[in-house]
Structures are given as C-alpha cells and as structure tokens.
Amino acid sequence: MSVKVRFPPSPTGWCHVGTARMAVLNYLFARKHGGTIVFRSEDTDKERSSREYEADIIEQLRWLGLSWDSFQRTSELVAHHTHALTTLIETDKAYLSCEESKREPGTFVEVVRLRNPGKAVTFTDLIRGDITFDTAELGDFAIARAIDDPLYHLAVVVDDAAEGITHVIRGEDHISNTPRQILIQEALGYERPQYAHYPLHLGADKSKLSKRTGDVAVRSYREKGFLPDALINYIAHLGWTPPSGKELMSLDEMVEEFELTELHKSGAVFDLEKLRWYNREYLLRETEASFAAYVLPLLKSAIELRGLPWDDAVGGKLVPTLRERMSVASDLAEMIGAGEYDFFFADPAPDAAHIPEKKSNPADARTHLAYARTALEGLTTFTPETVKDTLWTYAAEHGRGAVLWPLRYALTGQQRSPDPFVVASIIGKTATLRRIDHALSLIARL
C-alpha cells in the first residue's frame, strides 16, 4: 500500500502554528513511508474563506521548507460532490429536505440529509487506539446546504476517497467529526482510511490556541526574524521526542526518526522561550562571516532608523557582541530601538555631574581622564586588550572605579554600558580622544 496524506487547511485565517504542525506531522509521516501529499484548500465556508489566506498558508508552509505533490481546492471539486450527493439520494441513503435557510431566514432551501442508520461506530486511531461513538443522537445530519453546495463532512469524504488518501492525520478536535465521516463513507461504499488524531498544543498560559490570535500566525514569527529551520524544528518537537533525543535536526533527519505512534498523548505547551533557544542555536551554528552578512544589514537599518550615521568599521566590530546578546532578529531591533547602541555611532551627551565616580571628585576625574588621554594617544592598535594593558596598572594604583568610571562614562554617556576597553576599541582612537576631550571640557571648572 502506498501512503497518501493530505494537508487540508481551511483558508479562513493566516497560516498559524497549528496549520504548520498539521502539515509537518503529515509531511514527516508521508516522506518516511515514501508516500505522497496532496495540498487541499478546504474552502467550503465561502464567507470566511479567502484567496489571500490561502496564498499565505502556501507561502508560509513553503518558507518553512515543506513541500507537497499536488494541489486542489474543494470549491473546484463541486461536480464530484454533487455526483456523490445524487448517488446517495438515488440509493435512498440520503434525502432532500425543504427547510428554512439559516443564512436567510424566510427563504427555503433543499438541504441534503444523510439517512443515519444510528449504529455504534468504532474506529482504530493510530495514536489513541479504539474509539467508539454512538451515532444515534446525531440524527439525520445535514451533508449539503443544497445539491451543489456540500458541507465539509461530505466534501472531505468524497475528496479523500477520490485521492485515495490512506491516512488522515489531524488534530484531536476532529475526533467527533470522524463518526459522521465514516457513516458517509459507508453510505458511498468507500474504503475507510486510517485515522490518527494528535493532541492539540496549548498556549503558554495553557489556553487553547486560536488561529485568530495574531501572535500565533507563522508570518508574525517570520516578521520577528525567526529562521524557518528553527521554527519548523520547534513545531515538529511540540509533542514529539525523537528516539535519539536530538533537538536540532533537519527535516530529513526528522523523517528518519519519525513514528506517528510516538507522538505524546497529552498536549504540548507552546513555549516562546524554547523557540527562542532554537533560533539562537541556529544563529550560533552560522560561521562568523555568514552571521555578519545576516546581521549587519539589520543593524544598519536599525541605526539609520534612529537617525544616526552608519559606520562600517564600528558595525563590523559589534558583530561578536550582537551574536552573544541576541536570540532572534527582533531582539536586535529592540536593543537598538531602546538607544542601547547609540553611543557606538554618535558622540554621547554626558552630564558633567556624572563624570566623576560617586566616591571620587571632579579634580581626580580630570587627572585620570588626562592620564588616559595621553596614554591612549600613544597607542597605535586599539583592541580591548591593548587598551586595557595601557590603563590597567594605573587604574589598579589609583582606584579602578575612580579611573575607569569617568572614562567609560565619557565614552558612552550611560550609567551602564560595556567596559571602556571594549567601547574604545570599537569606536576607535579618534572618537575616543575626542570624547575624552569633551568630558574634560565639561568638568574643567568644577
């Protein structure tokens, strides 16, 4: 038997993490078994479906690295649905019922209802084992709003059968739909696919995730700068632990290890911190050069957004710090946006009162800054180590705080910042001497 699965999103909202999880689980299963995948845009709900959402789902799933073998749209398969409905009516398995329209009260429509045999239906779920439903209470449920307007249950059964779908892998919110769908399959004489209903994942607050909540849209993670490898990897690990226990894996490696029956039986909680960890790990895997190529344009545009002049040399020297401090691109935008890096690109405006260290005084600050100026003027190579070597003995002798605070504050204009050796090495000799001179002029008469 060759495996065939489907990605059947309803295009009624942006591609969300739940859609991606449905797709990745189907993908891993299909590829593991050398099977195929049909992407079906289930646009039976005409009012809520849109091509814009459909395009978004396709775009984000592709961006995540997923692929499929064919594409279809439920609304374009209506002829098959009508044919199935006609067959059901002709064989008396279903009937037309003239009823008042729910959408337009006062008008009457010919709804199609399945003649429900009202028996117990049992199916074997690959994740949850045998599940039995008494279908009597469902009554003669509707399967179409009109002969050419199928409802989801009818359409999904006809489309799955026409495609020869062997495995229906979907969230457990669909368990209660399964008995209805099985009754329709049986009425049409179709073979039953195998079912696997996996537990849904929960929001960080353990609430059910909603596809209408903007922050679970894949596009919003993408806009924050999450890398597709990190996101798909994290999503695949929601509710699945590969036997190797590995965390960072390519899709191919996951395919190797995937087993549907190993999905956890209880819902995983979506943990943004863990997703950030994945992203950071992927960033750390980049070579120095490729990380720089990734981060420098982001840094440049964030700096320019603050109206500050860009400087290639300074930017290049900031790369290691950025690598240490960020998990995802939006962290960088936040740090820059908060002004934390302004002093690297423009001279700060220090406040004279804060130049001397709290326990020191303006006269000592003048002496120490003047010493630092002379010492650094004679230094040709500015690295954190050379700057430190130049000043360390003096600072140890005259009090590290008293010496290094005024220098650090003169360079950054901030009460908290990296140490003055790092800052001086990044901004370079000219800016360092200019900023020391400015601070000296501010405290000249204090």
Q: Where on the chain is the footprint of ligand GLU (CB under 6 A)?
A: 8-10, 42, 156, 170, 174
DSSP per-residue string spanning 360-381: S-HHHHHHHHHHHHHHHHT---
Minimum CB–partner distance for residue 24 and ligand GLU (Å): 14
DSSP-assigned letter for residue 193: P
**Residues in the chain, total:** 446
Minimum CB–partner distance for residue 95 and ligand GLU (Å): 25
Q: Which amino acid is residue 306, in one-letter code?
A: R
Minimum CB–partner distance for residue 9 and ligand GLU (Å): 5
Beta bridge partners of 436: none
Nearer to ligand GLU, 166 or 390 (CB): 166
CA 1 to each of CA 131, 256, 363: distance values in angstroms, whole numbers, following the listed order: 24, 20, 88
Q: Are 127 and 198 in contact (CB under 8 A)?
A: yes
- Distance from C-alpha of 80 to C-alpha of 61, rounded to nearest angstrom: 28
Minimum CB–partner distance for residue 45 and ligand GLU (Å): 9
In the block, residue with structure tokens 């359409």: 155
* Chain centre to alpha carbon of residue 342: 29
Q: Alpha helices, DSSP H only, in 121-269?
A: 152-163, 178-188, 218-223, 228-237, 251-257
Among residues 182, 143, 149, the alpha carbon closest in space to that of 82 is found at 149
Nearer to ligand GLU, 53 or 345 (CB): 53
Name the token pair of 279. Answer: 């992203």
Nearer to ligand GLU, 170 or 276 (CB): 170
DSSP-assigned letter for residue 159: H
Nearer to ligand GLU, 174 or 285 (CB): 174
Nearer to ligand GLU, 200 or 433 (CB): 200
Minimum CB–partner distance for residue 60 and ligand GLU (Å): 15
Nearer to ligand GLU, 42 or 149 (CB): 42
What is the four-CA torsion angle of 222, 227, 230, 232, rounded to 10 degrees?
A: 50
Among residues 205, 242, 212, 251, the alpha carbon closest in space to that of 62 is found at 251
Minimum CB–partner distance for residue 35 and ligand GLU (Å): 16
- Distance from C-alpha of 314 to C-alpha of 14, rounded to nearest angstrom: 40
Nearer to ligand GLU, 270 or 345 (CB): 270
- Distance from C-alpha of 358 to C-alpha of 392, rounded to nearest angstrom: 20
Nearer to ligand GLU, 156 or 227 (CB): 156
Nearer to ligand GLU, 40 or 408 (CB): 40
- Distance from C-alpha of 412 to C-alpha of 434, rounded to nearest angstrom: 12
Name the token pair of 295. Answer: 């981060």
Minimum CB–partner distance for residue 53 and ligand GLU (Å): 11
DSSP, collapsed to helix, strand or coil, labels residue 208 as: strand
Minimum CB–partner distance for residue 191 and ligand GLU (Å): 16
- Distance from C-alpha of 338 to C-alpha of 238, rounded to nearest angstrom: 33
Nearer to ligand GLU, 155 or 249 (CB): 155
Minimum CB–partner distance for residue 136 and ligand GLU (Å): 23
- Neighbour count for residue 50 (Cβ, 10 Å): 14
Q: Are 41 and 72 in contact (CB under 8 A)?
A: yes
Minimum CB–partner distance for residue 263 and ligand GLU (Å): 16
Minimum CB–partner distance for residue 208 and ligand GLU (Å): 14
- Distance from C-alpha of 81 to C-alpha of 294, rounded to nearest angstrom: 50
In the block, residue with structure tokens 């003649």: 115
Nearer to ligand GLU, 174 or 325 (CB): 174
Name the token pair of 348. Answer: 């700060």
